[in-house]
Homo-oligomer: A and B are copies of this chain.
Amino acid sequence: MSDAPSSAAAPSTAASGILRLIPLPGLPEIEPGTDLAALIREAAGEAGVALAGNIVVICQKIVSKAEGRLVSLEGIEPGDEAREIAADHDRDPRQVQIVLDESRRIVRRGNGVLITETRHGFVCANAGVDLSNAPGEDVAILLPIDPDASARRLHEALSEPPAPTPVIVTDTFGRPWRDGLVDVALGSAGLAPIRDDRGSRDRAGRELLVTQPATADQLAAAAGLLMLKSAGIPVVVVEGFPFEGDGGVHQILRDSSTDLFR
């Protein structure tokens, strides 16, 4: 089952199969260089929330801020492509230049939306570059350079043997075919981001061929229910989930050769 049964931390919850999603209040504004793990540990202690054996889901934005992934628009000199796209979509050309700098390629553009594939391989609007909740009017927040590595560092700093604390770093993405945003995992450590149920059997004994729940993304979406931007809750602790394995989100980014929507 789990590498670290969460029953160690919360026996009654695990026994009944109940999951608890606990918002972590009390984090201060995050500055570049902040020791995020120390702040999370402190906030959890004050709120009486156990981390050992539980999963910590962290909004990308505070990870990026702590890692200094901030860019002032003032220093940006947009190139021709950025100017052209900005003119087409009524956007700030400096902002578009930042998006292009963070992208491997443009996947689609239209309706004022610029969907790119980031250098990590994520397909999302504006390469994940965001202006909301940024420290200044003209500062953009970029995604972490390596969100799996960010999650790994936080996982190691938060875990106290023998009950590790898996970490998921999340962001809100749009998606094709449906309006609205859902939180997805950008980085993970201390649990397998996808659960491989292939080869297991359904209740009728029939082999399940393609059931691979994207655990990290389901956890991200669950935590997202408590992470509304206006609420100022950037960290959610998940208690009672029988996590297993270990791996980064890069493992679940689909290879171009098997993707029908590149």
Contact = CB atoms under 8 A, between A and B. Distances in A.
B197 A230 contact: yes
A178 B229 contact: no
A214 interface: yes
Contacts of A259: 176-177
Contacts of A206: 131-133, 137
A260 B197 contact: no
Contacts of A97: none
A17 interface: yes
Contact of A181 (B17, B202, B212): B212
A137 B137 CA distance: 61
Contacts of A209: 132
A113 B23 contact: no
29 contacts: A17-B226, A17-B233, A18-B21, A18-B22, A18-B23, A19-B222, A19-B225, A19-B226, A20-B21, A21-B222, A132-B206, A134-B204, A176-B259, A176-B261, A178-B184, A180-B193, A180-B212, A180-B252, A181-B210, A181-B213, A200-B230, A208-B230, A211-B228, A213-B224, A213-B228, A217-B221, A218-B222, A218-B225, A219-B225
A109 to B, nearest CB: 8
A175 interface: yes
A55 to B, nearest CB: 10
Contacts of A213: 172, 180-182, 224-225, 228
Contacts of A111: 258, 260
A254 B179 contact: yes
Nearest to A124: B177
A254 B217 contact: no
A108 interface: yes
Contacts of A232: 203
A180 B194 contact: yes
A34 interface: no
A184 B178 CA distance: 10
Nearest to A109: B260
B230 A201 contact: yes
Contacts of A137: 206
Nearest to A110: B260
Contacts of A210: 181
A123 interface: yes
B229 A211 contact: yes
